[in-house]
Amino acid sequence: MMAASDAAAFLTYTTKALYLDDGEMAVIDPEGVTISSFVNGERKTKPVYEINWQPGEESKGAHRHYMHKEIHEQPDSCTNTMRGRMLPKEGLVKLGGLEEVADRLRGANNLIITSCGTSYYAALYGEYLLEEYAEIPVSCELSSEFRYRDAPMDEKTAVLAISQSGETIDTLEAVREAKRHGALSLGLVNVVGSTIARETDAGVYLHAGPEIGVASTKAFTSELVALNLLALFLGRQRRLSPSQAREILEGLEETPDLMRKVLAQEDKIVFLVDKYIEAENYLFLGRSYQYPIALEGALKLKEISYRHAEGYAAGEMKHGPIALVDPHFPTVALIPQSSTYEKMWNNIEEIKARRGTVIAVASQGDPQIATLADDVFYVPKIPEPLAPLLTVIPLQLFAYHLAERLNREIDQPRNLAKSVTVE
Ligand code: M6R
């Protein structure tokens, strides 16, 4: 008989993995998988889930923290999210997990996206994208609120749950609520075989690989990529022409290389952290596709550095937060080339007029921003809807290096758990 630890090791080095509960042993051979009880030898049947994680992915390698490793893995994790799913020449996206429900999706009247924390910010990004590409009415709901509301839903509603872990209790309960109303439930999940993946009618796996740091990084960017794929899938069903889809797919294909260029500028972030180390409070501002990234930048900073940060839609500045601005309260302003560039510029001018300091995240080839902001971090030029995949990286690195300078418990921040399985 194989010891449980040996059986677990054996399973780790196979391409197919099974849940191994206490008292059960799994044997994998070319004929299939047999699970039997250690206690009475009785055979059991369990579902099999294919996991594309490789042995060693769960180690820190040369990095001091999992979070640092996971930030640097993003070009590869995003590539894995795209792999085998894009046909740029045809302007098509293939999502095997949605094939069975494609007709129901085509007939859906609206889409509700529900999630928590970082995954909720991905949902907000998805709202802009799905409305632009697929012209489907979208609303985003925090799962912890949605599950207790009486939101109108029926069989013509699609509800998409986004969750790295697939185990977040509020998101799971939101899915169950949607199903009780007869809505089509979809999952966008990283962990294969997780509860949300099993309970939704259909879905798309992120394939980002194991994310161990409590602060989500690579799962977030994979969520953004998967939302692009979903928006293209629905877009082609509804309004996007093959050539429009092709252009977006080509942009997506280039993104991992551009992410590498951003990561290569990590020393600039170390310099900025040094400069702003005394600041106790930060404001993050963005508009349109950059608004969810402002929220995510503030959350990352709070989670691991324990410094106070607020994320805001820049257009809301005048409605309150501008009162906070003073020389000791830096603003991180997301201002890549976009349709809202001029508006963001005006917001930065308003902050500067009140003697605030501004760190701008801007596009390469924009020399004028350096005449306005105190510091600028440049990211490569990219189509506007894809820019969040680049602008979020300096924010992740800023939070990471600030937390490191402050000697925080980066991978296991105080009071936080990787998945929130109780209310
Ligand atoms: O596993 P999920 O994506 O459902 O988790 C949702 C949130 O708990 C999670 O994103 C949390 O906000 C992270 N710690 C953010 O870094």
331-369 burial, b if ≥16 CB within 10 A, otherwise e?
Answer: bbbbbbbbebbeebbebbeebbeeebbbbbbbbeebeeb
Cut 0.75: pTM above it: yes
From the CA of 164, how far away is ligand 1's center (Å)?
7
Per residue of the chain (423 residues), what is the pLDDT tens digit? 344 444 444 444 444 545 555 567 777 766 667 777 766 777 776 666 666 666 666 788 899 999 999 999 999 999 999 999 999 999 999 999 999 999 999 999 999 999 999 999 999 999 999 999 999 999 999 999 998 888 899 999 999 999 999 999 999 999 999 999 999 999 999 999 999 999 999 999 999 999 999 999 999 999 999 999 999 999 999 999 999 999 999 999 999 999 999 999 999 999 999 999 999 999 999 999 999 999 999 999 999 999 999 999 999 999 999 999 999 999 999 999 999 999 999 999 999 999 999 999 999 999 999 999 999 999 999 999 999 999 999 999 999 999 999 999 999 999 998 988 888
Q: What integer best gives the mean pLDDT of the chain?
A: 91
| Separation CA 245–CA 241 (nearest Å) | 6
Q: What is the DSSP letter of 53?
A: P
pLDDT the model gives residue 45: 66
Q: In what order do the strands lie in the sheet with 308-313?
A: 308-313, 281-286, 331-335, 358-363, 375-379
From the CA of 161, how far away is ligand 1's center (Å)?
12
From the CA of 194, how far away is ligand 1's center (Å)?
15
Residues lining ligand 1, Cβ inside 6 A: 116-119, 163-165, 168, 171, 214-216, 303, 416, 419-420
From the CA of 20, how far away is ligand 1's center (Å)?
25
Write the residue with the smallest CA distance to atom 12 of ligand 1. 117
β-bridge partners, 282: 309
Q: Would you say 153 and 104 are in contact if contact means Cβ atoms under 8 Å apart?
A: no
Write the residue with the smallest CA distance to atom 8 of ligand 1. 117
pLDDT the model gives residue 130: 97
pLDDT the model gives residue 20: 56
pLDDT the model gives residue 257: 98
DSSP assignment string, 330-397: -EEEEE-SSTTHHHHHHHHHHHHHTT--EEEEEETT-GGGGGTSSEEEEE----GGGTHHHHHHHHHH
Burial class (CB in 10 A: 0-12, 13-18, 19+), 274: exposed
How do strand 16-17 and strand 49-50 relate by DSSP bridges?
A: antiparallel
Residue in 144, 147, 168, 304 to alter for ligand 1 test, most ligand atoms within 8 A of Cβ: 168
pLDDT the model gives residue 389: 98
Q: Can you say whether residue 84 is alpha, beta or left, with left for phi > 0 and alpha for psi between -120 and 50 degrees?
A: left
Cα-only R_g, the chain: 22
Q: Any residues with CB less than 8 A from the CB of 404 and at least 6 apart, and which?
A: 64, 65, 410
| Separation CA 201–CA 165 (nearest Å) | 17
| Atom number of ligand 1 nearest to Cα 117 | 12
Q: Nearest-CA neighbor of 254 among 73, 93, 387?
A: 387
Write the residue with the smallest CA distance to atom 7 of ligand 1. 117
- CA 255 to centroid of chain Cα atoms: 15
From the CA of 119, how far away is ligand 1's center (Å)?
6
Write the residue with the smallest CA distance to atom 14 of ligand 1. 215
Query: In sequence order, what E strands does 65-192 have?
Result: 86-87, 92-93, 110-115, 138-142, 157-163, 184-189
From the CA of 53, how far away is ligand 1's center (Å)?
20
Helix (H, G, I), strand (E, B) or coil at 195: helix
| Separation CA 4–CA 6 (nearest Å) | 5
- CA 369 to centroid of chain Cα atoms: 28
pLDDT the model gives residue 5: 46
| Atom number of ligand 1 nearest to Cα 419 | 1
Q: Would you say 35 and 45 are in contact if contact means Cβ atoms under 8 Å apart?
A: yes
Tokens describing residue 409: 């418990």
| Atom number of ligand 1 nearest to Cα 171 | 4
Residues in the chain: 423
The model's pLDDT over 197-233, given as tens digits with 9 standing for 90+, comes to 999 999 999 999 999 999 999 999 999 999 999 999 9
Write the residue with the smallest CA distance to atom 2 of ligand 1. 163
From the CA of 196, how far away is ligand 1's center (Å)?
14
pLDDT the model gives residue 166: 97
Residue in 216, 221, 224 to alter for ligand 1 test, most ligand atoms within 8 A of Cβ: 216
Q: What is the DSSP letter of 292?
A: H
